[in-house]
Amino acid sequence: LGIVILMAVATRFSFINENAIFVLSSIFMPMVFIYTGAKENAFFIDNQKKDADFFTKYAFKEYLIPYLWFSLLYTTVDSLLFIVKRNVAINLIYSDILNSLTLYGISILWYLPALFLAVTIYFISRKKLPYFVRIIIASILLGLALYLFADVNKLLQEADTLFKEIIIKLFIMTHRTVLAYFYMIIGEGIDRLTDAVITKKLIIAVSGFICTGAGIIAGYFNKKSDISILAFGNISLFFLATILSGVGIFLLSKWIGRTIFFDFLGVNARIIYLTHFELFAIAIGSKVETIVLDIFVNYFLSHLMNILVVVIIVTIYIVVINKFFYFAVAKEANNTFGLNEIDDND
């Protein structure tokens, strides 16, 4: 997950090559879903004797509680910007509230309710059905979703009543859930495979490089895609790119093994992802980059200062949230950097 969060943040820097941004932005969220499948597979194995109520409560705490807290935070920030600076339209605040209540999500928060529902469905189906049945069901559901909701974003733009807007956003949220569940099943499968069958480091490394390279190539030839709004470009290339690169990065992380750097990024990935863009780290970094470039006329130095400022701001968020607002990200108390939560699945 540490590798994936680096990819996610990299897509926000304006100096990154546009083609690289297109590829990274299209594949990093499916990678999150694949990682979640592997993570929850391990969690289920450790708790398989527990009942459905236990798993539902776990999913609620792990995914929906952070969604609710950060929805409140984002809405509060937009409201303050409206009151103090008047540089935010009142319609945006209305949209924040509606998107939060429908689980459509404000900006990047969309993936949390999708994961809450997908993880809940995953645990329920995991207790009752074997893997091959679940992968068939996930594939059928995905095919139906792609067919039934092909023009759903166009319908959302044309929605002329609040009722229609709510219904369409619920459809989009359902589609996202199906996507998350599909990639989770893949994540579970590759986790099982590497634990029981493919155990040699060399095979894992070679397979990881081949899959990642093939996935990146497929992503490069695909059009710009955005899974949050169900924009896939070429559907065949999209799924080829996301599945191959997701599996490839997962295998490479298995090959690389544990490092304190990626462990730190992994356990704090949610904080990094939810704060780096919406809470102005990227915006401030970009302004600093412009100032440094005007003074020194040195692109390398300005880019470096941009990255440094973002790292400093996000690190402050990590410390503050882990120390004082740990409950908002489903963490434990008095956990300054989150490192005491590291386990074999991060």
Q: Per-residue pLDDT tens for 4-27?
A: 888 888 888 888 888 888 888 888
Q: Which residues contact 97 (CB under 8 A, 6 or more apart)?
A: 75
Residue at 35: amino acid letter: Y
DSSP alpha helix (H) spans, 47-151: 52-59, 65-84, 90-101, 111-128, 131-148
Mean pLDDT score, 106-116: 94
Residue 23 has a pLDDT of 85
Whole-angstrom distance, CA of residue 166 vs CA of residue 173: 10
pLDDT (mean) for 69-91: 85
CA 90 → CA 78, 94, 219, 280, distances in Å?
A: 9, 7, 38, 20
Is residue 88 scored above 70 in pLDDT? no
Task: Return the SS3 of 254.
Answer: helix
From 109, 13, 129, select the one nearest 67 (Cα to Cα): 109
- CA separation for the pair 337, 346 (Å, rounded): 14
Q: How far apart are CA 282 and CA 275, in angstroms?
A: 9
- The whole-number pLDDT of residue 147 equals 85
Does position 72 have pLDDT exceeding 90, yes or no?
yes
For range 132-140, the mean pLDDT: 95
Q: At residue 107, what is the residue type?
A: S
Quick one: pLDDT band at residue 260, thresholds 50, 70, 90? Answer: confident
Q: What DSSP designation does 224 have?
A: P
Query: pTM of the prediction?
Result: 0.89
